[in-house]
Structure 1
Amino acid sequence: MFRILYSVLLFAAGTLHFTNERVFRSIVPRSLPFRKGIVLVSGAFELFFSFAIWAKKGRAVIGKLLAVFMVLVFPANIYMAMRNKTYIKGKKMHPALLWLRLPLQIPLILGALYVTKEDKPENRKLEAEDV
């Protein structure tokens, strides 16, 4: 069930990177070059991961890559909190909410590892016998 939620979250976020690219670009620090490219590439990665976490083989590697990805996008969340940026143009959020949002990245990182955990052979055998 958690894998479904995580997959839907990644798919929605990835899609939004393309449909609302300008909004996402506004949360990329201006000091970085190719901000539009960063948004589109990160959206493509989120779309890729939304499907890749369902792979039977190499799932553990996918999980580690997704966890690294979640660490790499964390600076954008910090930038949002520091600059009081939101995904809604012209809308401000209470700064405390933006700062309280930062620790939520930890469950996303741990969740990436959890939903891609390789099944142990004995678990697969038990599941096959239950059917």
Structure 2
Amino acid sequence: MKTKTAIMTGLLGLAGVAHFSRPVLFDSIVPPRLGSPRFWTYASGIAEFGCAGLLANRGTRRLGGAATAALMVGVFPANIYTVVKYWDDPRGRAIAMARLPVQIPLVWASAAIAVDTD
């Protein structure tokens, strides 16, 4: 397993654990129009575990890369919502805004894994 794949697998696994061990943190960034925050927190945690599993298995790694890229794009609206939600709190806004550009290398790395021949 290449370093990039190992890092993405680890990040997804840790994020999945965090969604179940500290769900309140993630509930707070689910846009209200989506309905039950806890449902989306757990669903995204399951998706992260699933993507990590796909990446960890050589036979499903390409699918895992594509699924992870899609997941990273899919959660981006929650990151934007968080910026808006914490706009009047300078510290919260700074943290939320710092997360936005982090999604770019995550999507890029995931997409690169999907097309890698190894």
TM-score band w.r.t. shorter chain = 0.7 to 0.9
User: 1:92 deviation in Å?
Assistant: 6.9
Cα distance in 1 between the residues matched to 2:31 and 2:75: 12
Cα distance in 2 between the residues matched to 1:10 and 1:96: 23
- The answer to whether the 8 Å contact 2:83/2:97 transfers is yes
Q: Percent identity?
A: 30
Aligned to 1:28, what secondary structure does the other structure show?
coil
Match for 1:102 among 96, 100, 103?
A: 100
Unaligned segments of structure 1, at least 5 residues: 86-90, 121-131
Name the stretch that deviates more: 69-78 or 25-34: 25-34
Cα distance in 2 between the residues matched to 1:84 and 1:116: 34
Aligned CA RMSD, in angstroms, stands at: 2.1
Give me the TM-score of the superposition, normalised by structure 1: 0.76
Give me the TM-score of the superposition, normalised by structure 2: 0.84
The structure number with the bigger radius of gyration is 1
- The answer to whether the 8 Å contact 2:20/2:42 transfers is yes
Letter in 1 for 2:36: F
Unaligned segments of structure 2, at least 5 residues: none
